[in-house]
Amino acid sequence: MPRRFDLIVFDWDGTLLDSAAAIVLAIQLACRDLGVAEPDDAGARQVIGLGLVDALATAIPSLPPARYRELAERYRYHYLSRDHDLALFDGTAELLAELHSRGHTLAIATGKSRLGLDRALAHSGLGQWFHATRCADECHSKPHPEMLLELMEALVAEPGRTLMIGDTTHDLQMARNAGVAALAVGFGAHPAELLQAEYPVALASSTAELAHWLRLNG
């Protein structure tokens, strides 16, 4: 099949790494540490994919801005104490190797910090497959298109030849704002009905289904 997309950009948490539940728990534990009302699971899942400060401000709107840094530090403590126990979704490494062998350029656009992403790439062993990455502490947070715009410029890719893959509405909205196609995965943070409302080109229910779609359409 002719290749449709030169550049394929992945989100990280909830798309390649099965980490949504750990993020939710870390947000809730950080709130308990500070003695503030914690969001329920759905409320915490909704902010996954945003930059950390934006995520915490949205999930805990009653928190004074002066305490954002304190809450962020407690979140990092709880998440990093468990992150080495997190696993990639089944088939992730094989999918990336296959896409690389077919000549696609691969990149990451994530709400993680640079330090957090570098740690995750080193632990997972996936760093070898990605030509460039962008993080929320380097660019505007999703759904602002800056991460995708910078990746396309750095990797000399046209919007019409770029695909964004993610598990949240923030990913899909970022893609739309950057003028690129978006594919949703329904096994991460946001439920399928919310993802479908953003009109992705497809919604994959597993990594195997994602790999199959990319073989036919990527």
Using the 3D structure, point to which of 84, 100, 134 is the last residue of a domain: 84
Closest listed residue to residue 161, CA positions, set 18, 4, 43? 4
pLDDT attached to residue 51: 87
Helices 207-217, 92-101: axis angle to 10 degrees equals: 10
Using the 3D structure, point to which of 84, 101, 127 is the last residue of a domain: 84
Residues 65 and 99 in one domain: no
What confidence tens digit (pLDDT) does each residue in 25-47 have?
A: 999 999 999 999 999 999 999 99
What gap in Å lies between CA 210 and CA 185, rounded to an integer?
8
Inform me whether the pLDDT recorded for 176 exceeds 80: yes
Q: Which of 11, 54, 83, 171 is flagged as catalytic?
A: 11
With 0-12 CB in 10 A as exposed, 13-18 as middle and 19+ as buried, what is 197? exposed
pTM: 0.94
Catalytic residue status for 13: yes
Inform me whether the pLDDT recorded for 196 exceeds 90: yes
Domain count, the chain: 2
What gap in Å lies between CA 29 and CA 49, rounded to an integer?
19
CATH of the domain at 13: 3.40.50.1000
What would you report as the CA-atom Rg of the chain, rounded to the nearest whole angstrom? 17
What gap in Å lies between CA 75 and CA 19, rounded to an integer?
14
Q: Which of 51 and 188 is assigned the larger pLDDT?
A: 188
Q: CB of 39 within 8 A of CB of 3? A: no
Catalytic residue status for 41: no
Inform me whether the pLDDT recorded for 83 exceeds 90: no
Task: Give the 3-state secondary structure of residue 50.
Answer: strand
Inform me whether the pLDDT recorded for 57 exceeds 70: yes
Residues 172 and 114 in one domain: yes
Per-residue DSSP letters for 97-120? Answer: HHHHHTT-EEEEEESS-HHHHHHH
